[in-house]
């Protein structure tokens, strides 16, 4: 009996070791680094909150924050609108609806880094698909304004299917009796959507916004593989700035402080959304 009672801990140990080794320890170690100036040859110097204070006056941080906020606000909004429109479209009887739903979800199964390199060839100004096949010439990756648009477009293409799947599942869970009863009062599709569909979908929509926004704030792979943060630093997101601070400049203390600032910001945003949901439905 004693062995049986301890057997469960044997099976739990691999998961515990994984979480401690690859989550808890890196978090605590990077927290320690964020208070230090790390010199690979001369050792470390304790700075207190100097690394955090430096971030609020660093022009690179200000630029990366602006790029990230643009990416999150524009990208997530477009994904939500397109995902909802596609969900409404495919929630009705259409020829080949099953096949089209499958095609719609294909971008989700592609690796974001691979998607980035794929769109490098599509956006290429001379021999890319858009230039050579569609005949549209634009400085997709060489102009700062076009570059951020290109990164957002690729992210929309990659993640709209996720929003589509979640909202479609929510739509299909709405009882048809609601619509049948409402049609006795009105036959307007807009009123049915406004007063029945949208209120029922609201918790799911908020959940989608939380999930996508929290991931979009941490975006790295698509801008890294598509533009490498350029031209200049026009597409350098906050995570890319943190990565470059670590890998290119070996400023481990400042890079750790930047990573924790992003963690705090995302945690505050997610907590705020969850509190709003709790207040609205209690």
d(CA 64, CA 242): 10
Tokens 């290109």 correspond to: 150
Residue 44 lies in a domain: no
Looking at the structure of the chain, the number of domains it has is 1
List C-alpha distances in Å: 127 to 51, 96, 223.
Answer: 45, 34, 21
**120-121-126-131 Cα dihedral, nearest 10 degrees:** -100
Could you tell me the two tokens for 281? Answer: 């439905």
pLDDT per 10-residue tile (average), the chain, 282 residues = 65 80 85 87 84 93 94 95 92 78 84 89 84 79 91 94 92 86 79 86 89 90 90 92 88 92 89 77 65
214 located within any domain: yes
Model pLDDT, residue 160: 94
Residue 10 lies in a domain: no
The C-alpha angle 257, 27, 58, rounded to 5 degrees, equals: 10
Query: Which residues, in sequence order, are bridge partners of residue 36?
Result: 46
Domain that holds residue 197: 50-280
Residue 128, pLDDT score: 80
Q: Please indicate, yes or no, if residue 22 is contained in any of the structural domains.
A: no
From the number of C-beta atoms within 10 Å of its C-beta (0-12, 13-18, 19+), residue 224 rates as buried
Residue 179: what pLDDT? 83
Q: Is residue 2 part of a domain?
A: no
pLDDT score recorded for residue 4: 61
- Here the tokens at position 135 are 């005949």
Pairing assessment for the beta strands 36-39 and 43-46 based on DSSP bridges: antiparallel
The pLDDT of residue 57:
92
Instruction: Determine, yes or no, domain membership for 105.
Output: yes
Could you tell me if residue 238 is inside a domain? Answer: yes
User: From CA 139, how far away is CA 221, in angstroms rounded?
Assistant: 21
What does pTM read for this prediction? 0.87
Question: Which has the closest alpha carbon to 151: 59, 230, 61?
Answer: 230
Contact between 217 and 237 under an 8 Å Cβ cutoff? The reply is: no
| Residue 278 main-chain phi, psi, to 5 deg | -65, -40
Q: In sequence order, which residues have a C-beta less than 8 Å from that of residue 222 and are 6 or more positions away?
A: 112, 113, 115, 116, 151, 154, 155, 158
Strand partners, 37: 45
Q: Which two tokens stand for residue 239?
A: 């995570």
Residue 26 lies in a domain: no
Q: What integer pLDDT is reported at residue 125 of this predicted model?
A: 83
Instruction: Sort 217 into a burial class: Cβ within 10 Å, 0-12 / 13-18 / 19+.
Output: buried
Q: At 258, which CATH number?
A: 1.10.3720.10
In angstroms, the CA 91 to CA 222 distance is 31
127 DSSP 8-state letter: T
Measure the CA–CA gap between 83 and 167, rounded to whole angstroms: 7
């Amino acid at each position: 009996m004693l062995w049986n009672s301890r057997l469960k801990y044997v099976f739990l140990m691999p998961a515990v070791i994984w979480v401690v080794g690859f989550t808890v320890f890196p978090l605590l170690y990077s927290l320690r680094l964020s208070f230090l100036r790390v010199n690979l040859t001369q050792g470390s110097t304790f700075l207190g909150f100097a690394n955090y204070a430096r971030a609020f006056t660093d022009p690179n941080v200000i630029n990366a924050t602006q790029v990230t906020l643009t990416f999150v606000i524009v990208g997530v909004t477009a994904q939500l609108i397109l995902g909802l429109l596609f969900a409404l479209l495919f929630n009705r009887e259409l020829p080949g609806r099953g096949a089209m739903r499958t095609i719609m979800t294909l971008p989700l199964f592609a690796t974001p880094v691979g998607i980035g390199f794929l769109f490098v060839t599509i956006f290429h100004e001379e021999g890319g698909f858009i230039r050579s096949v569609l005949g549209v010439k634009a400085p997709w990756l060489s102009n700062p304004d076009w570059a951020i648009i290109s990164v957002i477009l690729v992210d929309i293409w990659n993640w709209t299917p996720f929003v589509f799947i979640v909202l479609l599942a929510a739509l299909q869970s709405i009882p048809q009796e609601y619509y049948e009863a409402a049609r006795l009062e009105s036959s307007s599709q807009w009123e049915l959507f406004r007063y029945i569909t949208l209120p029922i979908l609201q918790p799911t929509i908020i959940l989608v916004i939380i999930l996508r926004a929290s991931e979009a704030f941490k975006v790295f792979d698509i801008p890294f593989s598509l533009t490498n943060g350029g031209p200049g630093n026009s597409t350098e997101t906050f995570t890319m700035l943190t990565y470059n601070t670590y890998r290119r400049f070996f400023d481990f203390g400042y890079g750790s402080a930047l990573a924790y600032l992003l963690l705090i910001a995302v945690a505050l945003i997610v907590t705020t959304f969850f509190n709003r949901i709790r207040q609205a439905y209690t």
